Chains A and B, each alone.
Chain A
């Protein structure tokens, strides 16, 4: 068994985890912003519920994929209550590993004649 600190040990990532990683990779985000970001990038197909979001966040924090940040963005956008999350180096490594895994999968699918965009 791989050590849990090893990126490959976490693959494949649950869909919600990967989406959250992608969302915070673009910049520090608070919870609701992550939900909106994920929804926007999936054309509204994936609407994270607060429970799923924070359950994932808790696990990602424990595994060191993301971290809470103390730096706040521009004050007028800030809301006292909010916590902001940022991707860690390990999180980025995991995201890259997952991307590699998915790319290989997609490449293999294409080779077998499953072209994207067609039914």
Chain B
């Protein structure tokens, strides 16, 4: 019997109260009639099915009734329905958009088989953090370790594809044959690399990325077996990788086997770090265990090779965690802001519904009087809020779909995932869950409150609805809205200030009017320094002769685009060479005129010149920071230091530039003359980036430059055409995107909080009509009445703003990493936020206050 009573709980309470006893009685008779364990068991089974299906049917009937009623009610007050749905759409839309990006970047597993078992391996050096592996260390680590089921390596390179129309410069990865099996990914067309293809002297083979196959090869299904030329070497296309395969990042366009040359010096140098390594953990082995094993192995290798592997330890990092702290913070801040907007939306709607609940008191009392139980009324009200929530959610989803592409900037390029998050089932589910929770969140409380008072007293004409407690609750909701909007305002303000500070940083070079493009010279062909020099000479002399061009030059890598290329320094005054960040500098080869073209001031000495040839003494131009570090109070000209296999003499000192980016500390810079490098040495540093300073628009300049490059070498592609200004702007692009979104959130929150104050005060004024009428009749002056209302608004604002400031400070501390040195307690930002709060309070209270002043005392007193 107890079990049956328990089953009855599946019915709606209203039904249970009405018929529960009867049903229990009937069932008891049946139970008595059933004899023998067999028929008792059958009875139970039948009962179970019967209760479940009938309870569902009863629920459905009630839902249908409630829905019909809801549609009628909402159609009666379209203004309310529209406001509620729009407020909800904003809240749900903001959260869905934020979630779709956060989920895409931070939560969802990477698109590889059992991706949580994949880790990156790094060498770890004091002062450097993590560093790529050298090939011999990779081979040793793979052979000595037992934590991994498999291990593969790759390094990033770029190749020129020739023979398919215009020469193309493509991003490629050289991979070991084992790499794709480690990831658990198979080509979509053709087959993966075999060990035979990944061997010295093997014929060249390559795999295409899906976009490259679609673009350059028009999606040719018979692509396997076709031949192409990469940098002068013939390659056979053996397949195409799947569409969602972006490895190591979304820039990857094709993959080539590594084809190690085991006897080459390049391969045997333990200090030549360029291999990225991915491994799959054996089942049951944790990341910590693998890390411990690798640290031990690195320790053994350090003993074995005390010079090359000095202080070299190992790092094991799950693939998913290879994400900068900044990207993570940007997304978390965004999610937090979205949550604030949702909370404000909820508070606003709860307030709206509570006010409505009061207005509907009579209707509810009538329904209660004709026999509707409280549970039924609450249920009806919750159905109403859920309908609103789901409508709002549906529109919110559209808002999110429109907003997600704007947020794509926040997807870091370093992850092996696509650029654009997709709105998929997970996101739909999230939006649905948020909508329903929201509906319950803002609906349940007002519903219960509204029904608590739904007795007959409300039916009496003139009964005044709402007591002090209710108003306190509504005030608390408005206070919470003000609080959340202050947090958002302050956060947005701080981030805007940080953005302005970063944008205000002088990069150290001219960014306006400088066009850049890349002509990456393919290597066996341009291995000889003289052949490169000839190419540069032909291009530069022709470009410099173009009308409007005031300077053109080549450099190894553009600042902010390539932030690496850091070398150890040995200075003759006793410092020994250490692989230590205290003695490093960025290394670049330049052609004469680079500093003038880029507007980098030449403080002392001279620029590199054409006469700085391989036979002349090795010279260098260094940055002011370099000179200051080694020769603080002396003349740096004529001093010596050792870098990149040679002893160099300082002949010039130039201004510092931000190589690593606007808001990051950069190493001192060393510029070497482009001719002073032996054939085949440092070929990765061969100048490839052309910078042109001119007063012409890039589009006007580019065709002529293309022609010049084509004339110098018809097989030479041009890539990465950009202005220096774009490169600098890119530094803050993801920040700017985040601030746009956060700023929009803050504005929405601010408006909603203002509307909240307005709504509450309007309601209070209408409730206090009589009292105010009496006051006016007794001679209260309009100023006094306005003051009274505005004071009430001000109290709400202060009650919300003060804890809001405290919370905002806590939030700012949490995202200090994004603030670029702006103090979390920045006085100006907090002052602005408080100022806005004052404005909001005044605007929110003004209309209600004016309405209060216009109250006609005679009318107000007579209504009673």
> A residues bordering B, Cβ < 8 Å?
30-32, 35, 49-55, 57-59, 79, 81-83
Q: Is the CB of A52 within 8 A of B54?
A: yes
User: In the complex, which of the residues B21, B27, B55, B57 contacts A81, with contact meaning CB atoms closer than 8 Å?
Assistant: B21
B27: chain A residues within 8 A (beta carbon) = 50
Nearest Cβ on chain A to B672's Cβ, whole angstroms: 89
Q: Is the CB of A52 within 8 A of B26?
A: no
Q: Is the CB of A54 within 8 A of B19?
A: yes
**Which stretch, B44-52, B419-427, B794-802, B810-818, touches the partner chain A?**
B44-52
Give CA–CA (A48, B466) in the complex, Å.
48
Q: Is the CB of A49 within 8 A of B22?
A: no
B635 at the interface (CB under 8 A from A): no
Give CA–CA (A82, B26) in the complex, Å.
10
B22: chain A residues within 8 A (beta carbon) = 30-31, 50, 54, 81-83
Q: Is the CB of A55 within 8 A of B54?
A: yes
30 contacts between A and B (CB under 8 A): A30-B22, A31-B22, A31-B25, A31-B26, A32-B25, A35-B26, A49-B46, A49-B47, A50-B26, A51-B23, A51-B50, A51-B51, A51-B53, A52-B54, A53-B26, A54-B15, A54-B19, A54-B22, A54-B23, A55-B15, A55-B54, A57-B19, A58-B15, A58-B19, A58-B58, A79-B25, A81-B21, A81-B25, A82-B22, A83-B22
| In the complex, chain B residues 20-34 whose Cβ is within 8 Å of any chain A Cβ | 21-23, 25-27, 29-30
Closest to B21 in A: A81
Q: Given the known A-B contacts A31-B25, A32-B29, A82-B25, are A52 and B50 also in contact in the complex, defined by CB atoms under 8 Å?
A: yes
Give CA–CA (A29, B63) in the complex, Å.
30
Nearest Cβ on chain B to A28's Cβ, whole angstroms: 15
Closest to A35 in B: B26
Give CA–CA (A31, B26) in the complex, Å.
7
Give CA–CA (A55, B856) in the complex, Å.
56
Q: Is the CB of B54 within 8 A of A51?
A: yes
Q: Is the CB of A55 within 8 A of B26?
A: no
A57: chain B residues within 8 A (beta carbon) = 19
Nearest Cβ on chain A to B853's Cβ, whole angstroms: 52
Give CA–CA (A51, B15) in the complex, Å.
10
Q: Is the CB of A58 within 8 A of B25?
A: no
Give CA–CA (A81, B58) in the complex, Å.
23
Closest to B22 in A: A31
Nearest Cβ on chain B to A52's Cβ, whole angstroms: 6
Other A-B pairs beyond A50-B22, A79-B25, 7, CB < 8 Å: A32-B26, A52-B54, A53-B23, A54-B15, A54-B19, A57-B19, A82-B25
Give CA–CA (A58, B23) in the complex, Å.
12
B18: chain A residues within 8 A (beta carbon) = 58
Closest to B24 in A: A50
A53: chain B residues within 8 A (beta carbon) = 23, 26
B11: chain A residues within 8 A (beta carbon) = 51
User: In the complex, which of the residues A49, A55, A79, A82 contacts B58, with contact meaning CB atoms closer than 8 Å?
Assistant: A55
B25: chain A residues within 8 A (beta carbon) = 31-32, 79, 81-82
Nearest Cβ on chain B to A106's Cβ, whole angstroms: 30
Most buried by B among A50, A53, A58: A50
Q: Is the CB of B50 within 8 A of A49?
A: yes
| In the complex, chain B residues 738-794 whose Cβ is within 8 Å of any chain A Cβ | none
Give CA–CA (A32, B29) in the complex, Å.
8
Closest to A30 in B: B22
Give CA–CA (A50, B15) in the complex, Å.
13
Closest to B4 in A: A50
Closest to A48 in B: B26
Give CA–CA (A30, B15) in the complex, Å.
17
Nearest Cβ on chain B to A59's Cβ, whole angstroms: 8
A58: chain B residues within 8 A (beta carbon) = 15, 18-19, 58
A32: chain B residues within 8 A (beta carbon) = 25-26, 29
Nearest Cβ on chain A to B798's Cβ, whole angstroms: 54
Give CA–CA (A31, B25) in the complex, Å.
9
| In the complex, chain B residues 28-78 whose Cβ is within 8 Å of any chain A Cβ | 29-30, 46-47, 50-51, 53-55, 57-58, 61
3 nearest A-B pairs in the assembled complex, by CB-CB distance: A51-B54, A49-B50, A54-B19
B55: chain A residues within 8 A (beta carbon) = 51
A50: chain B residues within 8 A (beta carbon) = 22-23, 26-27, 30, 50
Closest to B47 in A: A49
Nearest Cβ on chain B to A19's Cβ, whole angstroms: 15
Give CA–CA (A49, B46) in the complex, Å.
9
Give CA–CA (A58, B26) in the complex, Å.
16
Give CA–CA (A51, B47) in the complex, Å.
9
Give CA–CA (A25, B23) in the complex, Å.
21
Nearest Cβ on chain A to B324's Cβ, whole angstroms: 60
Nearest Cβ on chain B to A101's Cβ, whole angstroms: 24
Nearest Cβ on chain A to B32's Cβ, whole angstroms: 11
A55: chain B residues within 8 A (beta carbon) = 15, 54, 57-58
Nearest Cβ on chain B to A16's Cβ, whole angstroms: 11
A79: chain B residues within 8 A (beta carbon) = 25
